[in-house]
């Protein structure tokens, strides 16, 4: 088995497309870094207030044009959230000369004042305020400077932003191009016959390809991300690994408010654990994508057909996430929520952004691991069974 994996790995590495895609991975990482650093420099409280105000103006225009009541409620809630965010940012601008501990104390006092004035029915606002207060209190107790705005992001936050950017577009393309002709490409020169006449079980042949391709794709991405993380750390420094972050928010449709936060769904995670979970979901997505792409490649018998199908599923779903989210069709959203390709961005799953975008409270870290794992097992089983029958059809 070891020799089979080694041979498959060497064969894939020598391919021109692999060398090109590895080079493109480094280039994509470089531009993702530039974007993340540029976004960091423009994330000062003053700049964010200006950007938020422009966004509010655009939302008000959309509010006047909209005839959909649920959409109007969503827009009103977004405006309210952004206005609240602007007040927090203005507080930072007005108190930028304060020591971080004094600023954190002031924020806790401000949150206490808001909680005392909050009406009893607003559980969503209460949850957000209480978890924020807990975060600042932990920072004070453990002597960890919190991150108030993106302009002070360091290596941990920056690499998570880079991972999100890559996962949105390049990673799906990377795995599709590398893997799509793994078996379909063997049919044209008919090297598939040479594979099948080896004195080795077809299951071992299939699994050796699967393992070799995962080592190549997952290993390449993780290596580049690790090197990039270390470079960012040397350039910008590292946050305290225990820095608490608010994660796990789940969102649902609300007849009164449009989209509302599920009570008690938010909690705190150290930033190092948040990064590890994000990478874990990214790896699981890539392994599942490999299983699906190889299954399609086994069925297709044609490289172009295999690439086309895999591109539509793996790349198309990630590109059209926001389009699907804006759709009024609940059946389309429900279908999207059970397709592994919809879970390409592990960081968004952890923060709750994907749940908010899709208005689905069922999207969580545990459910995502479960959905992707079940589909991975299914793709591997089907791919192996189909490959086992190849000798009869050639």
Q: Are 215 and 9 within 8 A, CB to CB?
A: yes
Instruction: Give 192: exposed, middle or buried? Use CB within 10 Å, 0-12, 13-18, 19+.
Output: buried
* 254-303 pLDDT tens trace: 655 556 778 888 899 999 999 999 999 999 999 999 999 999 888 887 77
Confidence at residue 394, expressed as pLDDT on a 0 to 100 scale: 47
Written as one string, the DSSP assignment of 67-95 is --HHHHHHHHHHHHHHHHHHHHHHHHHHT
Q: Are 281 and 350 within 8 A, CB to CB?
A: yes
Which DSSP helix (H) or strand (E) runs through 96? none
| DSSP structure class, residue 313 | I
Average pLDDT estimate for 131-138: 92
- Can you tell me the distance from the alpha carbon of 394 to that of 141, in angstroms, rounded to the nearest whole number? 68
Backbone angles phi, psi at 248, to 5 degrees: 80, 5
Confidence at residue 120, expressed as pLDDT on a 0 to 100 scale: 61
Give residue 79's Cα distance to chain centre. 25
Token readout for 394 is: 């050639």
- Can you tell me the distance from the alpha carbon of 95 to that of 368, in angstroms, rounded to the nearest whole number? 41
Give residue 385's Cα distance to chain centre. 31
Token readout for 355 is: 């749940």
Q: Which of 324, 320, 282, 315 is nearest to 170 (CA)?
A: 315
Q: Is residue 169 helix, strand or coil?
A: coil
* 367-385 pLDDT tens trace: 999 999 999 999 999 988 8
pLDDT exceeds 50 at position 72: yes
Token readout for 97 is: 């000369």
Q: Are 50 and 158 within 8 A, CB to CB?
A: no
- The pLDDT-based confidence of 194 (bands split at 50, 70, 90) is low
| DSSP structure class, residue 298 | H
pLDDT exceeds 90 at position 153: no
- The pLDDT-based confidence of 230 (bands split at 50, 70, 90) is very high
pLDDT top residue among 319 and 285: 285
Alpha helices in 251-364 (DSSP H): 271-300, 303-310, 316-319, 321-326, 330-336, 346-351, 353-358
Q: Are 134 and 268 within 8 A, CB to CB?
A: yes
- Can you tell me the distance from the alpha carbon of 295 to that of 291, in angstroms, rounded to the nearest whole number? 6
């Amino acid at each position: 088995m070891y020799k089979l994996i080694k041979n498959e790995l060497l064969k894939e590495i020598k391919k021109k497309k692999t060398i090109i895609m590895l080079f493109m991975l480094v280039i994509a990482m470089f531009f993702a870094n530039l974007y993340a650093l540029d976004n960091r420099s423009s994330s000062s409280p003053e700049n964010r207030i200006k950007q938020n105000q422009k966004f509010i103006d655009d939302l008000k225009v959309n509010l006047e044009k909209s005839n959909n009541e649920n959409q109007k409620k969503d827009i009103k809630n977004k405006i309210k959230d952004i206005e609240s965010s602007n007040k927090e940012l203005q507080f930072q601008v007005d108190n930028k000369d304060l020591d971080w501990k004094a600023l954190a104390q002031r924020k806790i006092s401000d949150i206490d004042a808001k909680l005392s004035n909050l009406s009893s029915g607003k559980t969503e606002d209460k949850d957000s305020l209480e978890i924020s207060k807990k975060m600042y209190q932990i920072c004070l107790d453990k002597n960890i400077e919190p991150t108030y705005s993106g302009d002070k992001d360091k290596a941990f936050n920056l690499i998570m932003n880079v991972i999100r950017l890559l996962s949105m577009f390049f990673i799906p393309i990377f795995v599709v191009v590398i893997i799509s002709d793994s078996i379909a490409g063997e049919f044209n020169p008919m090297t598939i016959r040479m594979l099948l006449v080896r004195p080795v079980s077809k299951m071992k042949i299939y699994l050796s390809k699967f393992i070799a391709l995962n080592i190549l794709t997952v290993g390449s991405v993780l290596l580049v991300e690790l090197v990039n993380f270390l470079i960012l750390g040397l350039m910008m420094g590292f946050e305290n690994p225990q820095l608490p972050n608010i994660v796990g928010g789940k969102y649902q449709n609300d007849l009164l408010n449009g989209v509302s936060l599920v009570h008690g769904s938010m909690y705190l995670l150290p930033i190092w654990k948040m990064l590890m979970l994000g990478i874990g979901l990214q790896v699981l997505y890539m392994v599942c994508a490999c299983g699906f792409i190889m299954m399609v490649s086994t069925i297709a018998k044609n490289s172009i057909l295999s690439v086309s199908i895999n591109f539509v599923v793996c790349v198309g779903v990630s590109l059209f996430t926001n389009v699907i989210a804006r759709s009024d069709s609940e059946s389309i959203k429900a279908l999207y929520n059970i397709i592994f390709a919809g879970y390409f961005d592990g960081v968004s799953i952890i923060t709750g952004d994907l749940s908010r975008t899709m208005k689905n409270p069922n999207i969580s870290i545990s459910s995502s691991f479960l959905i992707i794992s079940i589909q991975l097992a299914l793709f591997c089983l089907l791919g192996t069974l189909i490959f086992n029958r190849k000798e009869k059809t050639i």
